Amino acid sequence: MAALKTRSTMPGGVTPHCNDCGVALYWDVDDEEYIHAKQFWDDWTCKECNGGISLSLTEWKLQQLPLPVQKLNESLQQACERIGAGFYFEEGGCYGMALALQDQITKEGLKADLAVIENKGHAVVLLENQSFDYTGFSPLTGTETKLSTEDFLQYARNHGHTEEALFSAKEWALQAISSALEEAHAHS
Ligand SMILES: [Zn+2]
């Protein structure tokens, strides 16, 4: 059945239909979102046909990511605990973590943007329309401000982080990242 344009589909959108029973999804998906996740919507099955479980687009998107990024999402926080970082990457160390995550994620061929959440003074990276920090993915709250690397570094300096502090935070973050990836490797 897949995703169709029917008489009742809103302009600029498609109406996904269950692959098993053919029932239409209750809402339309706009064209841009559809193209972004075409396979998900083309293969979509309704909750009833899927054994009572609604398919999650967020989960599907996560499964499309390179394995190391999925592993970081699952195990970076534990790796931070393992290396004794405690809340370091929640507060002062978040800038270094964002820089390290950007490096790692770029290595996987994805685009990750640096951003700050001004009201929390917290740095994150943005990818796949979600925010990512040492705890893994979180939905966007709309308070994230995307910054160029230059502006990000300036922002960190304005908030009292010397280049030296940033550099050592990033080094520690890279340790946590490789620990998370090694741990994941050991379990796979
Ligand atoms: Zn169905």
Nearest Cα residue to 145 out of 116, 122, 125: 116
Report residue 186's pLDDT band, with 50, 70 and 90 as the boundaries. Answer: low
Cα(51) to centroid(ligand 1), Å: 10
Cα(39) to centroid(ligand 1), Å: 17
Cβ(29)–Cβ(19) below 8 Å: no
pLDDT in tens, 38-56: 999 999 999 999 999 999 9
Cβ(42)–Cβ(2) below 8 Å: yes
pLDDT in tens, 49-107: 999 999 999 889 888 999 999 999 999 999 999 999 988 999 889 999 999 999 999 99
29: helix, strand or coil: strand
Mean pLDDT confidence for 9-16: 93
At residue 24, the pLDDT reads 94
At residue 188, the pLDDT reads 54
Q: Is the pTM of this model over 0.85?
A: no
Cα(42) to centroid(ligand 1), Å: 13
Nearest Cα residue to 173 out of 109, 96, 112: 96
Cα(10) to centroid(ligand 1), Å: 21
Give the ranges where 21-111 is alpha helix by DSSP (H). 31-36, 38-42, 57-64, 67-82, 94-107
Cα(59) to centroid(ligand 1), Å: 19
Cα(164) to centroid(ligand 1), Å: 57
At residue 6, the pLDDT reads 87
Give the relative orientation of helices 163-187 and 149-158 as an angle to the nearest 10 degrees.
120
Sign of CA dihedral 137, 138, 139, 141: negative
Report residue 185's pLDDT band, with 50, 70 and 90 as the boundaries. Answer: low
Q: CA-based angle 23:63:50, to the nearest 5?
A: 25
At residue 91, the pLDDT reads 85
At residue 4, the pLDDT reads 85
Cβ(10)–Cβ(4) below 8 Å: no
pLDDT beyond 90 at 187: no
pLDDT in tens, 123-155: 999 998 889 999 999 988 999 999 999 999 999
